[in-house]
């Protein structure tokens, strides 16, 4: 991943080059390989590069042939070779992103429809000083936009580059384009399933398998060492299996050897570590196990929240191990990884989908989950890895694959107790008797949320830790201290304290989705099972009667006693909140 910052139409007296460099430096963790800055009249485009494709000559910003069009891009354009072949232009680099400038020359703002990849970009046309900004269909890459008091428009990969200078800022919505000529946003990604009309395409296991294999293979486009994040669950195991087969049968990636590298993180003895090792042994990958202690996780919370820019409970729980693992991965010299995000949203893999009453409700909920991915799993996967200059690619969110998967009659996706478990259609598609992709018991392993799979003690310890930091009196006054998105648990309150310390702006707190236990108690869950929806714990184990290791309450799962006591100094996290005694 890279970091981009654009400041467009600013007042000359209000902004100096040194100021732009300082703001761009806040994004350098995303792109530690090179920095670029373009200045034209009252327009700045800054770029912090993570070099994945064409490390030697692909520095940004990038230009059209006459340099009248300038673009700063965060992401990967997987179909860049085909696009280059379809146009007559001279290229200055081998970068996949340079094609965006030339596409704009030929097709104008409509060129975004031709892009296949994950991307956020800002493009400046100096011929008339107009500009556009766009974000990929699902929101795999992050983007924020804001407005300065001088009338300027700002764009940045992370809000930390905007918080001090924008009067207001927002999350840039996925699948949208901002045009200065039109004066606002418009949606450019409008697939048939987006209207939530109920699809009826018959389930074709082979077609689904082929689409996913294609999605994985195109993401092996790289000039640097890479690997797969392997938890041992269905999604990451399928990614690893397909990637491993491709490397073994072609010359792709051979500069790094024919064996795939896989990575897993967890507390010692965690479910994920055991399952991932079994999958890695089966596939013959070069496997790397990383361990973290509960205390190391707790110590990292403040940094995690600074980087991922949210106070959502589930996101923070899962981001912390991923954040720690990404640092280890970067230490090995690896700069790109494939990951399994998106499958649960597309196929109804979350355990509350067991309660879906009919295919119509099932499908509408998958649509809602996909549309909100940019606020949760995409945000986590991108920012937790980018914190250490590692890029995460997500084949399940390939545009073509999503369109195919979301066109299938949702009755085929529904869980049937005793017959079909969650994500059955993906499991069936890769259940190959002649040349198995995975062992049967892995292929049909029950869904395990990442924050659970790294070790059940992790979530239990977070709760116990938060209980020591947040008093009953603080919780009683929570609605006055935090009237917006009032925390419903002590764990949520503690994360909010940390977040508000580094992002006290109103726009920052509004950027986080809200409502009591929003990750667990969706509108669908309320309608499907009111008693279940009232459970404030978003852990997969809270799915009583569904998860094999479900628990009724915190008392059923003893809390760890290994957490160190936090100091009074550490508790001074938010000036508006008293220290818990």
Q: Is 339 annotated as a binding residue?
A: yes
Which pLDDT value is given to residue 31?
Answer: 97
Backbone angles phi, psi at 76, to 5 degrees: -135, 135
Which pLDDT value is given to residue 195?
Answer: 82
Radius of gyration, CA atoms only, the chain: 23
Which pLDDT value is given to residue 124?
Answer: 98
> Helix (H) and strand (E) counts for the chain?
22, 17
Residues that are catalytic: 2
Q: Is 372 annotated as a binding residue?
A: no
Q: 276: phi > 0 → left, psi -120 to 50 → alpha, else beta; which? A: alpha
Q: 244: phi > 0 → left, psi -120 to 50 → alpha, else beta; which? A: alpha
Which pLDDT value is given to residue 295?
Answer: 97
Q: Is 303 annotated as a binding residue?
A: no
190: its two tokens:
């409008």
pTM of the model: 0.90
Strand bridging mode 336-338 / 226-229: parallel
Which pLDDT value is given to residue 536?
Answer: 65
Strand arrangement of the beta sheet that strand 117-125 belongs to: 62-63, 69-77, 117-125, 130-135, 176-179, 184-187
Q: Is 577 annotated as a binding residue?
A: no
What gap in Å lies between CA 238 and CA 446, rounded to an integer? 14
Angle between helices 377-386 and 313-331 in degrees, nearest 10: 30
Kind and range of the H or E run holding 497 = helix 490-502
Alpha carbon separation from 100 to 62, 80, 179, 336, 437 (Å, rounded) = 9, 9, 15, 22, 37
C-alpha torsion 470→471→477→479, nearest 10:
30
Longest CA–CA separation in the chain, Å: 70
What gap in Å lies between CA 298 and CA 567, rounded to an integer? 13
Q: Which of 354, 313, 374 is nearest to 519 (CA)?
A: 313
What gap in Å lies between CA 205 and CA 208, rounded to an integer? 5
Q: Is 96 annotated as a binding residue?
A: yes
> DSSP letters of 167-222?
SEEEEPPTTEEEETTTTEEEE----GGGG-PPP-BPP-HHHHHHHHHHHHHHTT--
Instruction: Identify whether the C-beta of residue 118 lies closer than 8 Å to the C-beta of residue 137.
Output: no
What gap in Å lies between CA 208 and CA 242, rounded to an integer? 13
Q: Which of 189, 182, 186 is nearest to 140 (CA)?
A: 189
Alpha carbon separation from 243 to 122, 145, 433 (Å, rounded) = 32, 36, 19
Which pLDDT value is given to residue 543?
Answer: 52
Tens-binned pLDDT, residue by residue, of the chain (581 aa):
799 999 999 987 768 999 999 999 999 999 999 999 999 999 999 999 999 998 988 899 999 999 999 999 999 999 999 999 999 999 999 999 999 999 999 999 999 999 999 999 999 999 999 999 999 999 999 999 999 999 999 999 999 999 999 999 999 999 999 999 998 999 999 999 988 789 999 999 999 999 999 999 999 999 999 999 999 999 999 999 999 999 988 765 555 678 999 999 999 989 889 999 999 999 999 999 999 999 999 999 999 999 999 999 999 999 999 999 999 999 999 999 999 999 999 999 988 899 999 999 999 999 999 999 999 999 999 999 999 999 999 999 999 999 999 999 999 999 998 889 999 999 999 999 999 999 998 898 876 655 455 767 899 999 999 999 999 999 999 999 999 999 999 999 999 999 999 999 999 999 999 754 444 445 666 578 766 556 666 555 555 456 555 544 333 333 333 333 333 333 333 333 222 32
Which pLDDT value is given to residue 455?
Answer: 62
Q: Which of 56, 132, 66, 129 is nearest to 95 (CA)?
A: 56
Instruction: Identify whether the C-beta of residue 119 lies closer than 8 Å to the C-beta of residue 136.
Output: yes
Domains along the chain? 3-190 (3.60.20.10), 205-556 (3.40.50.620)
């Amino acid at each position: 991943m890279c970091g981009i910052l654009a400041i467009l139409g600013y007042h000359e007296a209000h902004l100096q080059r040194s100021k732009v460099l300082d703001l761009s430096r806040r994004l350098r963790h995303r792109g530690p390989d090179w920095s670029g800055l373009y200045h034209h009249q009252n327009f700045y485009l800054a770029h912090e590069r993570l070099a994945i494709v064409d490390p030697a000559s692909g520095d940004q910003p990038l230009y059209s042939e006459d340099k009248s069009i300038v673009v700063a891009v965060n992401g990967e354009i997987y179909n860049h070779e085909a696009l280059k072949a379809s146009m007559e232009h001279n290229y200055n680099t081998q970068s996949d992103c340079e094609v965006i400038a030339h596409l704009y020359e030929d097709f104008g703002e409509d060129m975004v429809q031709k892009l296949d990849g994950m991307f956020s970009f800002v493009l400046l046309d100096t011929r008339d000083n107009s500009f556009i900004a766009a974000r990929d269909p699902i929101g795999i890459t992050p983007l924020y936009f804001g407005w300065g008091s001088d009338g300027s428009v700002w764009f940045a990969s992370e809000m930390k580059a905007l918080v001090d200078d924008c009067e207001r800022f927002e999350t840039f919505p996925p699948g949208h384009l901002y045009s200065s000529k039109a004066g606002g946003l418009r949606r450019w990604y409008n697939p048939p399933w987006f209207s939530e009309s109920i699809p009826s395409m018959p389930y074709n296991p082979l077609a689904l398998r082929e689409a996913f294999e294609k999605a994985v293979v195109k993401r092996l486009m790289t000039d640097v060492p890479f690997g797969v994040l392997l938890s041992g669950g269905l999604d990451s195991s399928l990614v690893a299996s397909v990637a491993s087969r491709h490397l073994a049968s072609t010359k792709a990636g051979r500069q790094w050897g024919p064996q795939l590298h896989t990575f897993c993180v967890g507390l010692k003895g965690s479910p994920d570590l055991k399952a991932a090792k079994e999958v890695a042994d089966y596939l013959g990958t070069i496997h790397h196990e990383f361990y973290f202690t509960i205390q190391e996780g707790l110590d990292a919370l403040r940094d995690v929240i600074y980087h991922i820019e949210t106070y959502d409970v589930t996101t923070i729980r899962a981001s912390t191990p991923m954040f720690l693992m990404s640092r280890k991965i970067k230490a090995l010299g690896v700069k790109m990884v494939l990951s399994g995000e998106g499958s649960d949203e597309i196929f109804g893999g979350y355990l509350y989908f067991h309660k879906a009453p009919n295919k119509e409700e099932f499908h509408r909920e998958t649509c809602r989950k996909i549309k909100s991915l940019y606020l949760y799993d995409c945000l986590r996967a991108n920012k937790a890895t980018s914190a250490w200059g590692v890029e995460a690619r997500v084949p399940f969110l390939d545009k073509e694959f999503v369109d195919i998967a979301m066109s299938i009659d949702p009755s085929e996706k529904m869980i049937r107790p005793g017959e079909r478990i969650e994500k059955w259609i993906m499991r069936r598609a890769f259940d190959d008797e002649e040349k198995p992709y995975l062992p049967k018991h892995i292929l049909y392993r029950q869904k395990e949320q990442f924050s659970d799979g790294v070790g059940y003690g992790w979530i239990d310890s977070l709760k116990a830790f938060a209980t020591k930091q947040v008093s009953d009196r603080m919780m009683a006054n929570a609605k006055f201290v935090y009237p917006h998105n009032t925390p419903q648990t002590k764990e949520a309150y503690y994360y909010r304290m940390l977040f508000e310390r580094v992002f006290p702006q109103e726009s920052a707190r509004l950027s986080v989705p809200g409502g009591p236990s929003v990750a667990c108690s969706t509108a669908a869950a309320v309608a499907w099972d009111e008693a279940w929806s009232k459970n404030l714990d978003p852990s997969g184990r809270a799915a009583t009667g569904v998860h094999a290791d479900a628990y009724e309450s915190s008392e059923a799962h003893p809390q760890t006693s290994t957490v160190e006591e936090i100091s009074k100094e550490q508790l001074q996290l938010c000036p508006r909140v008293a220290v818990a005694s």
